[in-house]
Amino acid sequence: MKRSSGARLCAVTAAGALSLALITGCSDDGSKKDGKGAKDSVSSSSSSSSAPAAKALSKAELEKLLLAQGDVKGYKVASGDDTLPKSKSVVKSDKAECYPIIWASGALAPGETDVNVSNSVSEDKASTATASPEDLAAAFDINITFVGLSSYEGDGAEKTMKAVSDAVAACGGGYTVDVKGEKTKVTKVSAAKGSGLGDESVGFTESVDMDGEGTATVNGEVVRKGNTVATFYTVNFVALSGGKVVPVPPAVIQAQVAKLK
């Protein structure tokens, strides 16, 4: 039996924005890499080779660095507690080498650390909508960016960026992901130009199978500043169903990276 369009959206987000697979109401009812591979996805604005060994921030310290309401004009910030996966343990894949970008897609730490926080940042269109059908429809046509911050000891952040870049290169042919029994196929992963912010940035694009009815393209980016790594993954339900490609909003990346130490 074919699943409803609502279920197909759940499948899409389970593959890419892992966070949306757990969103309330979503159910069947409704490296700078070393000169090779995905080098176009990585940009660098500074070098940390002579910097002293980094010390990881605490979870409480990371929480203070997350974007808060009022930090990005035209956007509203939510905690993400009900929409983001709580643990990497709920995410399974047939390709272990793809986990760094899979985790980044769910606002989880893409590297080896337990210090991770996350939230979501969405366009604030609902506040200006009227009762007209056009405005009500537009209120749902919003970009939602899932933001994650993770912190690392020593050169852990640099190793994490390389792992992400390596994953983009290794997973070009796609992978399958299983989030709490919901299996979805990412058919293609491509390198994308990073924002160039922070010390390193890795951009990537994923093509996700829409239950056999075409593909959806979703964009993500990972940025390192010092020993803190920020992940961004943007989805739009209306755009996904219409085949529109939505970039990660530059304003969101700029505002978040500006808050990092």
Q: What are phi and psi of 203, to 5 degrees?
A: -105, 150
pLDDT at 134: 57
| Residue 30: both structure tokens together | 């409704």
Using one digit for the tens of pLDDT, what is the confidence trace for 45-100? 444 444 556 789 999 999 999 999 999 999 999 986 666 777 899 899 999 999 99
CATH 3.40.1000.70 fits 5-30+37-259, yes or no: yes
**Mean of the pLDDT values across residues 137-145?**
77
pLDDT at 140 over 80: no
pLDDT at 255: 98
Q: Which residues contact 133 (CB under 8 A, 6 or more apart)?
A: none
pLDDT class for 23, splitting at 50, 70, 90? very low
pLDDT at 186 over 80: yes
pLDDT at 154: 95
**Buried b or exposed e, range 20-55, using 16+ CB within 10 angstroms:** bbbbeebeeeebbbeeebbeebbbbeeebeeeeebe
Best CA proximity match to 88, nearest among 112, 67, 66: 112
Q: Round the average pLDDT of the chain to a whole number and report it.
A: 79
Using one digit for the tens of pLDDT, what is the confidence trace for 250-259? 999 999 999 9
| Residue 45: both structure tokens together | 């604005």
> Does residue 164 come out as left (phi exceeding 0), alpha (psi in the -120 to 50 range) or beta?
alpha
The pTM score is 0.80
